Chain A
Amino acid sequence: MENLLEIEKIHCGYEGHDVVDDFDLSLAPGTMISLLGPSGCGKTTVLRAIAGFEPVSSGKIHLDGRTVSSPKIRVSPERRRVGMVFQDYALFPHLDIAANIAFGLPRESAAEKKRITDRMLELVGMEGFAHRYPDELSGGQQQRVAVARALAPEPRLLLLDEPFSNLDTELRERLAIDVRDMLKEQNMAAIFVTHDQNEAFVMGDRTGVIHNGRILQFDTAFNLYHEPANRFVADFIGHGRFLQGEMLGPDKVQTRLGILHGNRAYPWDKGTKVDILLRPDDVLIDEDSPIRCFIQEKAFRGADTMYTVGMNIDSELLSLMPSRFDYKVGDEVGIEIDIDHLVLFRHQS
């Protein structure tokens, strides 16, 4: 199938300072992806380049097979049929909600405008708000209107730039699920930019982790967590600590906590120094285990508790335990590693 969006090795930024560096991405119709990264990683710049607000200094962006951005071509934003939902919602304060939503429909008849506006308000669950003004709405309501407004002209692609970051945590999660369901219902292709991995995993079928203007890994949430392609992704997604070890065989590593077996082979020589990624759910506290450590920190999180356990002065592990086990800081405990596939990186001294 022809891709809706094709980004070929684009660079954006000022002279000598690329904010986006050799960036590739493609998107099939009807799919939703997330771009995830720390602030300043260039993810918003990518979005703005797709929308047409940011020039590219090299590379190309194609939409439906037509080049819309290159160093020589720059199709203006209004001619791209790409919708955008802004971080600050960007509702027009001098227009009421109905007029905001109908803004992208200048050529429709009044009756048609009203029909589409009503349908959009219904879609986002804001019936009855047509004649309110943006400043009379709460943040979450404004966000729904912003989505409705962006969808009204039926863009071929919707871009969402940190759309939930100004909302409080609880509302954020619910709205993310709502918006995803709305977009899926419309079979809308969408790119969602965020620094919050939970949001990214809710919104995107797949997620691209971005660092220094490049995509480091583009994958499902499960794989990003369990099969990180590199150290940055391993660090950035979820919690975890690295444990040093030495290769004994393709799937065997000697560590201070004993020999660990995995279900996949690495091509490194015996004796290679490696770091093993240990997620908190790989480390179990077991009173009877001969490997003894101390509880250094604990963070109660409701259903479970995250313990930081120290093995000696210079290394520590995280352990996630159901919260009915209640250890105290300073307690001596035993730990056991329960891991079936090993994620290894060559050790960097």
Chain B
Amino acid sequence: MQESILDPRSEPDNNRLAGFLPRKPNKWHYTSGALALLVAVPLLVVFSGWLKPETEIWSHLADTILDQLVINTIKLVVGVGIGVVILGVSLAWLTARCEFPGRKWFDWLLMLPMAMPAYVLAFVAIGLLDFSGPVQTALRTWAGTSNIWFPEIRSTGGLITVMVIAFYPYVYMMARTAFITQGRSTLEAARMLGAGSYGVFWRIALPMARPAIAAGTTLALMETLADFGTVATFNYDTFTTAIYQAWFGFFSLQAASQLASILLLLVFVSLMLEKSSRSKSKYHDSMRSGEPPRLHLSGWRGWTVSGLLALLFLIAFLAPFIQLCLWSIEVITTDFDERYLGLLGHTLLLGALAATVTVIAGMVLGFARRFQPDRTTLVTTSLATLGYALPGSVLAVGIMVAASGFDNGINNLFESIGLDMPGQILGGSLLALVLAYVIRFMAVAFGPIETVLSRIRPSLPEAARSLGATSSQTLKAIYLPLLRPGLMTGLLLVMVDTMKEMPATLLMRPFGWDTLAVRIYEMTSEGEWERAALPAITLVFAGLIPVVLLTRRSLKRLK
């Protein structure tokens, strides 16, 4: 009985078959339930925006921009979805199953675009490729005429391209792992049964990798739907920009939450699609029978592939990276000042704060699942880690509405008993912002913690108990040291994600708490690309740390 490890007197777990509510709730039910409520409350609040609709602003929005928002969003989702699948899967296939010059380098180089926030890539792309940017200027000088054709970067196509480049690593990463772990024997069996190498790809490898591809694509689409900075840079109207306008333009949280609820519906639809595509396909990694054989691309074919991948890497990471460095050097004497250091300090502090709280909460969820593995905790922990699907702007609206409701309640209470009203308590506070980060990134912390926790065999804590250690001593001497790698990974990932987070930070930051991401938004919205570069390159370097560390670790593990 696993739950007995921490609580020797807990009853045997008879709840497995019972309904959702446990007969005798214990501390694990309460804590995981409380964390689930953190997610549920902002969600419900957003939808309850319809109970008291702000008809005036809403009908204005509905008349003017609503259909455009929906059309824009669908265009974006379809375009990015198709793009990341094609790019991600073909890159994964090439690096996982083929051999060509430089293949080992591309394994991890192709992950690096992950370190560059989409909104950074967006403004660098515009800065580079715009009419007045260095590329077109150079072309005109070279051609000797100002009358040359060049694709317009500030277009739907340009935006989709930027987002595909920014988000394909999700698909690449998951499909690659799937292709590698498919095992030699399944594929060899297919060959024995007469399938050629194309047949193996289309009939075996691709269908087997489908759940992973679907999961990666869903992550990419979540990012697309949640994105604010990229679409704002491209002046492309979507729900996130409309929420921002409703909030800061009309000062209407009500209209913002109505918009947020529509965005949320779109998110749930894509989650549902992913789930239904996965439900019928429960593939297990076949028994590890060695890495599948690689197709050797020899001669010009191999070099062509290397060349194309190098070009992609240049476009997706190297060129933007170099451009950011150049711009940063341009402005470093003027912009590397106290103001920058203040932004950096706030960003790091918020990141550390959010990471610490999130990892502790994630650990509690992990323990709840381990020690109380019944349906209740399964549901509450799943709900508590649902936040990754909530766009930052939606979350911000939900939390702010809930917080102002809370503040009003407190103020009315104080007034009714004749005390001075305390004013805003939660609304606009640091606590509310950190709460938004914790909800949004709970799954990021929970994932690595749960993975490590599931590898701690139950016999280890039992051995400690039989050697005389109490449950709290076992926690300290066995669980915490063994969990350390998972906790560290969680801390790092949440910290970096928090530092890069833009929409919730923009909407919720308390006065005087500007971060690097906020600065980037302010500068890019005025077209001052150079002045956005220094904070941007800082975020890219921060983002490189987990990408490099985790990619190296996963490469090692796959070997």
Contacts and interface: CB of A to CB of B under 8 A. Distances in A.
A: contact size bracket:
20 to 34
B457 interface: yes
Given A74-B9, A84-B462, A88-B459, A104 B468 contact: yes
Contact of A94 (B4, B470, B471, B481): B481
Nearest to A102: B467
A76 B1 CA distance: 13
Nearest to B10: A55
Interface string A71-105: 00010111111111011101111100000000110
Given A88-B457, A90-B457, A104-B467, A77 B14 contact: no
A86 B459 contact: yes
B196 interface: no
A51 B4 CA distance: 12
B12 interface: yes
B459 A77 contact: no
A150 B459 CA distance: 13
Contacts of B145: none
B: contact size bracket:
20 to 34
B463 A84 contact: yes
A349 to B, nearest CB: 40
A81 B469 CA distance: 11
Nearest to A94: B481
Contacts of B426: none
Interface in A243-296: none
A149 B482 contact: no
B409 interface: no
A79 B473 CA distance: 13
B466 A84 contact: yes
Contacts of B462: 51, 53, 77, 84, 86, 90
Given A53-B1, A93-B482, A78 B459 contact: no
Interface in B428-476: 457, 459-460, 462-471, 473
Given A53-B462, A90-B459, A83 B8 contact: no
- Interface majority SS on B: helix, strand, loop or mixed? helix
B533 to A, nearest CB: 44
Contacts of A14: 12, 14
A55 B460 CA distance: 19
Contacts of A22: none
Contacts of A149: 463, 467
Contacts of A81: 468
A265 to B, nearest CB: 49
Contact of B467 (A74, A83, A88): A83
A153 interface: yes
A55 B466 contact: no
A103 B465 contact: no
A103 B467 contact: yes
B1 A83 contact: no
Contacts of A106: 468-469, 473
A103 to B, nearest CB: 5
Nearest to A15: B14
B318 interface: no
A103 B8 contact: no
B484 to A, nearest CB: 8
- Of B1, B4, B457, B471, the most chain A CB neighbours within 10 A belong to B4
B319 interface: no
Contacts of B473: 106
A52 interface: yes
B490 to A, nearest CB: 18
B341 interface: no
Contact of A82 (B9, B466, B470, B481): B466
Contacts of A153: 467-468
B326 interface: no
A73 to B, nearest CB: 10
Contacts of A54: 1
- Of A52, A77, A82, A87, the most chain B CB neighbours within 10 A belong to A77
B467 A76 contact: no
Contacts of A52: 8, 465-466
A132 B229 CA distance: 52
B204 interface: no
Contacts of A84: 462-463, 466
A87 B457 CA distance: 11
A87 B478 CA distance: 19
B471 to A, nearest CB: 8
Contacts of B471: 76
B314 interface: no
B477 interface: yes
A276 B464 CA distance: 50
Nearest to B7: A76
B478 A76 contact: no
Contacts of B457: 88, 90
A94 B477 CA distance: 10
Contacts of B9: 74, 76
Nearest to A89: B459
Contacts of A51: 462, 466
Contact of A103 (B14, B477, B482): B477
A91 B8 CA distance: 22
Contact of A78 (B12, B468, B481): B468
Contacts of B4: 53, 55
Nearest to A104: B467
Given A78-B470, A150-B466, A55 B459 contact: no
A88 B463 CA distance: 11
B478 A77 contact: no
Contact of B465 (A15, A78, A91, A93): A78
A103 B464 contact: yes
A93 B471 CA distance: 19
Closest 9 CB pairs of A and B: A104-B467, A76-B8, A90-B459, A90-B463, A77-B465, A84-B466, A86-B459, A94-B481, A78-B468
Given A53-B4, A55-B4, 4 more contacts: A15-B14, A74-B8, A78-B468, A80-B466
28 contacts: A51-B462, A51-B466, A53-B462, A55-B1, A55-B4, A55-B12, A74-B9, A76-B470, A77-B8, A77-B462, A78-B467, A78-B468, A79-B468, A81-B468, A84-B466, A86-B459, A88-B459, A90-B457, A90-B463, A91-B463, A92-B463, A103-B464, A103-B469, A103-B477, A106-B473, A149-B467, A150-B466, A150-B467
